[in-house]
Chains A and B, each alone.
Chain A
């Protein structure tokens, strides 16, 4: 159950597994307590979870680069 609870917290479970965990949580106080402990354990990591913006124009440069490579190979 622990791995399922951790997966649930991370959003790492498939939909059917998520539903099963939610059922357990609704019925089982021990499961809710375990979930809270896991949530606390993950909380320090939240400090560094923020994403930075990608460098400006990265996607555009990437698409341009691929177009150029593609053209070069065709000619």
Chain B
């Protein structure tokens, strides 16, 4: 598989119709070309989001298809004042949670209702980083480093991981993440900080372990 960094399809050239315009066209006229353009536009970014969320390509493909089927069924509910991308990712996220639950793989906590401990330590990230020059993974080979980072991201509490997937890996705006997860904007920001603080603490532990093995 070819790996590239994908920019989310938010910035379109002026000649391209917006996501919202395409869905409204489909809603109003049943123009399947408009709908199919959306499916193609989101093929790569949405599949990658689901793959990271579900850790299984078959699941990711199934949920991708189910997401657009749901979109097709619910397109009458889409109104001019809504934004397409948060709606799409909201549907996908809920279907992904359902898929994991059906497999008995989903953690017991809900995505949007449970509080994350120490959610208010928004100022701690810079203090944490300042106290330590971040070089904890330098001693690992690239493949090993990537594997280790993926494992640490996967080990984050669900409420932090999903925000990292949407805010960092998908490049969505804070406001969009808040809409998708139905959370206050401040909670989205603080959870993203918390995710980074948690990852940084893990990187420091890793650094200490590697250093102690080498001495």
In whole angstroms, how far apart are the Cα atoms of A46 and B22 in the complex? 32
For chain A, residues 20 to 75, give those with C-beta under 8 angstroms from any C-beta of chain B: 34, 37-38, 40-45, 47-55, 58-59, 61-63, 65-67, 69-70
Q: How large is the interface on A (under 10, 10 to 19, 20 to 34, 35 or more residues)?
A: 35 or more
Count of chain A to chain B residue pairs whose CB atoms are closer than 8 Å in the complex: 126
Q: Is B189 an interface residue (CB 8 A)?
A: yes
Q: Is the CB of B192 within 8 A of A48?
A: no
Q: Is B203 an interface residue (CB 8 A)?
A: yes
For chain B, residues 104 to 161, give those with C-beta under 8 angstroms from any C-beta of chain A: 122-123, 125-126, 129-130, 134, 136-137, 142, 145-146, 149-150, 153
- A sample of 26 inter-chain contacts (CB < 8 A) reads A2-B126, A3-B122, A7-B174, A7-B189, A10-B171, A12-B167, A12-B174, A14-B173, A37-B126, A38-B129, A41-B196, A41-B200, A45-B153, A45-B168, A47-B149, A49-B169, A50-B4, A51-B4, A52-B1, A52-B3, A58-B65, A59-B40, A63-B32, A65-B65, A66-B35, A69-B69
Beyond A41-B196, A47-B142, A50-B5: 7 further Cβ-contacts under 8 Å?
A6-B189, A12-B172, A44-B145, A48-B150, A52-B3, A55-B61, A62-B68
Residues of A within 8 A of B (CB): 2-3, 6-7, 10-14, 34, 37-38, 40-45, 47-55, 58-59, 61-63, 65-67, 69-70
